[in-house]
């Protein structure tokens, strides 16, 4: 069965600084990878996804992520964050034989300071 | 508006009460999910319905009872809950295709007193 680890529970960063949120997964089969964002008092919103092809994927709000198969990682990055990026970010994995079932990591709270 | 609507947004209930959470989607999706989100814990998948049939029950206590009368509606019936059941309950739906991902509702914040 797959599992997802988000190593940092909280990441504080100053506005306009770059940020990387780390995600590692484990699986014995090929996977599809997702990042979701949750703003306060809201549900989860899809940021970006990796299904196949180019390992660098771009999403909404200027975020991007890179799939690294050898390191089983899918880290999320943004070159310059805004106050409005303050939220909880979840990495998720779906095995290609899992019947469309998503497994989520524990989440990383990104706190952007002025 | 995300396309998945959950009501109520907030619910406070006593341990002897019976209440229901409602989820509705008109996206034409054929799969619906209940997740529990507790503080400092990962999202926990509770139930999955595909084409109105329950296909996953992730060892959820019987005090939680799901119902899916049609592919657009999903309910979570609650009775004799415990304070540790206080959490954000999220509903999601999907097309059943990997590249579409899930669409989430805004959740119901449940407090058991």
Name, in order, each residue with C-beta under 8 angstroms of B1's C-beta and a sequence gap of 6 or more: none
Q: What is the pLDDT of residues A26-35, one digit of tens each?
A: 988 888 999 9
Q: What is the pLDDT of residues A45-54, one digit of tens each?
A: 999 999 988 9
Residues of chain B found within 8 Å of residue A104, distances taken between Cβ atoms: 42-43
A-contacting residues in B 47-106 (Cβ below 8 Å): 48, 55-56, 90, 92, 94, 96-99, 101-106
Confidence of residue A1 (pLDDT cuts 50, 70, 90): low
Cα separation, A101 vs B48, in Å, equals: 9
Nearest CA in chain A to B30: A100
User: Is B43's CB within 8 Å of A104's CB?
Assistant: yes
Burial (CB count within 10 angstroms: exposed 0-12, middle 13-18, buried 19+), residue B9: exposed
| Residue A52 buriedness (CB in 10 A; 0-12 / 13-18 / 19+) | exposed
Q: Are A15 and A78 in contact (CB under 8 A)?
A: no
pLDDT of amino acid B57: 76
pLDDT of B96 > 90? The answer is: no
Residue B56 has pLDDT above 80, yes or no: no
Among B6, B43, B101, beta carbon nearest to A49: B101
Q: Coil, strand, or helix at residue A48?
A: strand
Choose the weakest-confidence range: A7-21, A36-50, B44-58, B59-73: B44-58
Chain B touched by A53 (CB under 8 Å): no
């Amino acid at each position: 069965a797959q599992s997802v680890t988000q190593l940092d529970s909280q990441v504080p960063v100053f506005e306009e600084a770059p940020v990387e949120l780390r995600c590692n997964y484990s699986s014995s089969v090929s996977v599809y990878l997702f990042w979701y964002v949750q703003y306060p008092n809201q549900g989860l919103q899809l940021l970006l996804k990796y299904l196949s092809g180019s390992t660098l994927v771009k999403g909404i709000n200027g975020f991007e992520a890179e799939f690294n198969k050898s390191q089983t990682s899918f880290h999320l990055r943004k070159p310059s964050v805004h106050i409005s990026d303050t939220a909880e970010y979840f990495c998720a994995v779906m095995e290609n034989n899992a019947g469309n079932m998503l497994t989520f990591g524990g989440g990383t709270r990104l706190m952007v300071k002025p | 508006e995300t396309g998945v609507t959950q009501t109520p947004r907030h619910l406070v209930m006593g341990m002897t009460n019976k209440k229901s959470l409602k989820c509705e989607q008109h996206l034409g999706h054929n799969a619906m999910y209940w997740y529990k989100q507790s503080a400092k814990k990962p999202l926990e998948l509770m139930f999955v319905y595909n084409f109105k049939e329950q296909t996953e029950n992730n060892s959820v206590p019987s005090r939680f009872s799901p119902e899916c009368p049609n592919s657009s509606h999903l309910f979570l019936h609650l009775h004799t809950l415990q304070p540790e059941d206080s959490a954000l309950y999220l509903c999601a739906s999907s097309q059943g295709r990997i590249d579409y991902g899930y669409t989430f509702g805004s959740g119901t914040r449940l407090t058991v007193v």
